Structure 1
Amino acid sequence: MSARFTIARLGSQGDGVAETDSGEVFIPFTLPGETVTAAREKDRATLMSVLEASPLRIDPACRHFTECGGCAIQHFEADSYDRWKRDKVVHALKSKGIACAVGALVPCPPRTRRRVVFSARRTEAGMRLGFVRALSSEIIPIEECPISLPGIVAALDRLKTLAGLICTTTKSFHMTVTVTGSGLDVAAHDSGKLGGNQRRVASNFVIAEGLARLSIDGEIIIEPKKPVVLFGGVAVAVPPGAFLQATEAAEQTMAGIVGQHLSRARKVADLFAGCGSFALRLAAKSEVHAVEGDAPALAALDKAFRFASGLKRVTSERRDLFRRPLTFKELNAFDGLVFDPPRAGAEDQSKQIARSDVPYVAAVSCNPVTLARDLRILIDGGYALKSVTPIDQFLWSPHVEAVALLEKPRRRR
């Protein structure tokens, strides 16, 4: 049964929040000030109709919006959307008692996402390739995707065919598709084990369609062209399923902010270095020690450095920074430091950084909540927070990146 609700504000995940006598109700695809009818189930409700629309409501950019589960907030006017994303960072900092001017959001243009994770499943009606409906296991096939690079959208039919060729399971599986300088890199996960004939058929398809590589659960099935990306002009042959920033523009923006902050450092530590998106750029001016727990990513970084020219020395170390963070004594060998951890943040590593006397620190994060926690640790350890820049690279989603810059006077030894 549907009921009438008035939306008070947007929640952290982009849902409208209605306040009722029995508690808050979260209603997707609604905006503050709107009056709607929705079918309630506990603290969530499904939108039925908008009775009084917000003046900030706009037409969504995609026909699949509200169904595919990929985007949460295409219906919000652009300037208001930008303020909402920036405010997520502001509120996270405020919750930890951190006072700092937060810059304007660096926007994310449509059609720039270079790395997309699709869901696929074989059904009685054939293969389905698309995104999973929110709070569901249903895969919604897509015919367009205005956040993704055109090269991915143009390949949707081919990717669906490839999914059918490699599927040997009745369950859903994932296909990560990345645009590289060599073509599309396709990394499947949990699609099942291929027989010999299936390998040949899938490999022939990859070659015929000009794809760069197909891997399944980390195993390269075929690699006609080594997938390569550029980090500041340095070519990196990325391993299967490697982490990359979602958009190249956002990566360049973050690297530019970090590089400027660390420009006076002769020796820099890059923690959670990945394949080297920061390290290889920073090496143009500074010696860099790159620390990363993923062996294939670290090997790709090291090989790229060895084949590059004009860089300062880059050393690498495989190390699980969650289990064994660099100690403050180790960190004191560096003049600058950048860390870019997963969403969980880097609490233990931050405690060591806070005890160090590294003068310049750049913190990069995709989670404002854990960023604020880690910044609080650094500030309590004597660091001054100089700036925070929010960056949108997950367009129309609730996620936002941020780069925070800190300084500490170096103690005399």
Structure 2
Amino acid sequence: MSYLIERLGHQGDGIAAGPVFAPMTLPGEQVTGTLNGQRLTDIRIEAPSDRRVAPPCRHFKACGGCQLQHADDAFVATFKEGVVRAALAAHGLETAFLPIATSPAQARRRATLSARRTKKAAMAGFHGRASDVIVEIPDCRLLHPDLMHAVPVAEALALHTASRKGGLDVAVCLSQGGLDVHIMGGKPLDGPLRVMLAQLAETHDLARLSWEDEVIAMRRAPLQRFGTADVLPPPGAFLQATAEGEAALLADVKAAMEGATRIVDIFAGCGTFALPLSQMARTHAVEGDSGMMDALDAGWRKADGLKQVTVEARDLYRRPLLPDELKRYDGAVIDPPRAGAEAQIAQLITAGVQRIAYVSCNPVTFARDAAALVAGGYILSALRVVDQFRWSSHVELVARFTLA
């Protein structure tokens, strides 16, 4: 049976009438395949779209790390902006879109690799599309070349620490000191395993090796630079996916905060925005993780030429900042998890903070919070999609709100 692909879903799959979901297809394409429930397999493209291109990575068809390598960059940009426009339209909102900021190929500086023992050795890579099968990625076009050195590290870790039935999640990140490796899962940690892991860190020249919450070896400090400050994040701490994406977000956040003299950074992480902003204004950083707050504070204290930065460890979902606390600030930056920040947005509206920069990784919850801000008297004056997760269906954005 033949199917006409009408549109792409939020996960990047083509959708035909039914609905029928067809991965790696594009709107306007006529396709055939085998229907399993609502999903089409063994797909054959009978009439390709003029937006179809040859995937740049040979692993694309098997690997689940990317969903949109078969589409040209202009189509992907339009698709991602369309996801945000549709989310806003559901709440009756629209705004001016600044040009999309797309990170280049081979720019990802952090990733979580899956690793598993095999009968004779070990393997590491990404999970296959809609599968728990690990696909090896020796020619990955997504990860930074220096991050690719983590693949043999993950294989060695699996060989020596994973059970035959289970696997490891190996979070790897580039730092000023080299590879920062954080292991989740695997055997219970004991004395001999600690010794073996320390030896592995030496063999592979790792900056830091952490097992769950314990640092096993730190041969060099895995520092991250935010503005002019060097920060030593705790193991597994959040970091923007690419340097280019971080720079794009920061530039728009700074523009939104122009003229502010006191800024609050809500869901501040280790200081991605708070520390650079402290070059222009006094800044208060709030985050639920005390380890990240300690790291931010230490980085600020060692840096020169910054205005005062204060930190507060606080569960912002249970205890959002209240209007009496917020009224001392004339600028707010908020970068919440995917759930958004409904309760905190309500407090910002009541406080009447003059300018807000909202960074989001979920257009749906962003649009919900944006609608509340607009109803509360704010103007959504500009928005930019920032595509750090190139070739994926993931959408990030930064938006500017000013009090009318």
Query: Normalising TM by the smaller chain, what interval?
Result: over 0.9
What is the TM-score when the length of structure 2 is the normalising length?
Answer: 0.97
Aligned 8 A contact 1:36 1:48 in 2 = yes
Whole-angstrom CA distance in 1 between matches of 2:77 and 2:99: 8
Aligned 8 A contact 1:8 1:18 in 2 = yes
Q: Which runs of 5+ in 1 are unaligned?
A: none
Matched, 1:150 2:145: yes
Report matched runs for 1:92-107 at 5 Å. 92-107=87-102
Whole-angstrom CA distance in 1 between matches of 2:164 and 2:222: 27
Partner of 1:377: 372
- Residues 161-170 or 303-312, more deviating: 161-170
Whole-angstrom CA distance in 2 between matches of 1:165 and 1:223: 20
TM-superposition CA deviations, 1:88-138 (whole Å, max 9, x none): 111111111112112221112101100011111223243121111122211
Partner of 2:23: 28
Matched, 1:367 2:365: no
Matched, 1:181 2:176: yes
Partner of 2:308: 313
The AA in structure 2 aligned to 1:397 is: S
Change (3 A) 1:104 1:121: same
Give the 4+ runs in structure 1 shifted more than 6 A. none
CA RMSD after TM alignment: 1.3
Whole-angstrom CA distance in 1 between matches of 2:164 and 2:352: 53
The AA in structure 2 aligned to 1:293 is: G
Partner of 1:56: 51
Whole-angstrom CA distance in 2 between matches of 1:195 and 1:364: 41
Matched, 1:7 2:5: yes
Report matched runs for 1:8-407 at 5 Å. 8-19=6-17, 23-168=18-163, 170-407=165-402
- Residues 392-401 or 163-172, more deviating: 163-172
The AA in structure 2 aligned to 1:213 is: R
- Deviation, 1:395, is 0.5
Whole-angstrom CA distance in 2 between matches of 1:399 and 1:360: 27
Aligned length: 404
Whole-angstrom CA distance in 2 between matches of 1:47 and 1:299: 52
- Deviation, 1:263, is 2.3
- Deviation, 1:302, is 0.7
What is the TM-score when the length of structure 1 is the normalising length?
Answer: 0.95
Give 3-state SS (helix, strand or coil) of 1:210's partner. Answer: coil
Aligned 8 A contact 2:118 2:164 in 1 = no
Q: Which runs of 5+ in 2 are unaligned?
A: none
- Deviation, 1:391, is 0.7
- Deviation, 1:386, is 0.9
Aligned 8 A contact 1:10 1:31 in 2 = yes
Give 3-state SS (helix, strand or coil) of 2:348's partner. Answer: helix
- Deviation, 1:270, is 0.3
Aligned 8 A contact 2:113 2:154 in 1 = no
Aligned 8 A contact 1:213 1:226 in 2 = yes
Whole-angstrom CA distance in 2 between matches of 1:328 and 1:198: 50
Whole-angstrom CA distance in 2 between matches of 1:17 and 1:288: 46
The alignment-based identity, stated in percent, is 41
Give 3-state SS (helix, strand or coil) of 1:106's partner. Answer: strand
Change (3 A) 1:222 1:384: same
- Deviation, 1:168, is 4.2
TM-superposition CA deviations, 1:338-389 (whole Å, max 9, x none): 0000111101111111112111111000111111101111111111111111
Aligned 8 A contact 2:158 2:168 in 1 = no
